Amino acid sequence: MSETVPCATDVLRAHHIPYTYWYEYALRHYGSKTVLFSVYLLVDSVTASNTCLQSAGWVPGEVPMYTSQYYDPAIDEQVVLGYPGIESSHVVLMDAHTWADITPSAAADDRDHYPTLVQLYNALAQRFLDTDCFDHRQHLTVQIAYMYMHCPVLATPEFLARLPADIQQFHLDYLSDDLRMNAPKTVAHERMIRDRARSGDWRLMPEGSVSLGGLPVPHELEAQWAAEIEKKYRDRYPEVEEEYDDEDEYGYHDSNIAASSAVAPVEAGH
């Protein structure tokens, strides 16, 4: 954001208004390489935060047209602000109370306004299961996928142990890569598991719960598609096979290109 624009979070802290960084800013805090878009903040009071920032010069605005469905229209109160004359100054205020176990901080230090990694994951995953808005769930799919791609600690037993019991199987199923997690059939399956975990009637399945329900990932079919694409690639560009028969200077082989082309449509990401 330009130096001529006062920092929105500085203004909020100066007025003792609690906030928590959300989405891309929170992801980057934990090592994600995602691009920073608008500044998303979860706040105790959208009205109070909006009034505070407008008194400091912000005006009602709109998020960029490429923005995905970052809120659930059925439950989320949200306001978009921009600073006059500054294109990339969007601040999005969202009510924190609709996100599981998120309590915005009123600390004087801006570094204390990030959720813990467990809080971030849990709130995104719980909302993923709660929402009935398909486009919003797609947005959450991307956010969660970035965490798995860029935060290695998610694969550790310690992270699993710190998660609330009702979302641990969701995490294990995501790690297993055996279920299409955003498919309605899988969402219903994971909701059932969460309900059972909350009632104490669920035993964790470390290998994943695909055997009990949800929409399975067709690994054999995907492998077949990858092989077919690789064959077509080699048949069409035989000279490439000779040139790159060994790994190139970057350590990649042409089969990696073909395989990633086959898998990319079924993976979540920007």
| pLDDT tens column, 22-37 | 999 999 999 988 888 8
The pLDDT value given to residue 246: 47
Q: How far is CA 117 from the centre of its chain?
A: 12
81: enclosing H helix or E strand: strand 78-82
For 55-63, what is the mean pLDDT? 93
pLDDT at 82 over 70: yes
Integer Cα distance of 174 and 239 in angstroms: 39
Q: At what angle do helices 168-176 and 134-150 cross, to 10 degrees?
A: 70
167-213 tens-digit pLDDT: 999 999 999 999 999 999 999 999 999 999 999 999 999 999 999 99
Per the CB < 8 A criterion, the answer to whether 38 and 62 are in contact is no
Per the CB < 8 A criterion, the answer to whether 43 and 18 are in contact is yes
Whole-model pTM? 0.80
230, HSE (Cβ side, Cα atoms, 13 Å): 16
Integer Cα distance of 73 and 136 in angstroms: 9
Query: Given phi > 0 = left and psi -120 to 50 = alpha, else beta, which region is 200?
Result: left
Could you tell me the maximum CA-CA distance found in the chain, to the nearest angstrom? Answer: 66
Per the CB < 8 A criterion, the answer to whether 153 and 159 are in contact is yes
Integer Cα distance of 67 and 47 in angstroms: 23
125: enclosing H helix or E strand: helix 117-130
For 233-246, what is the mean pLDDT? 62
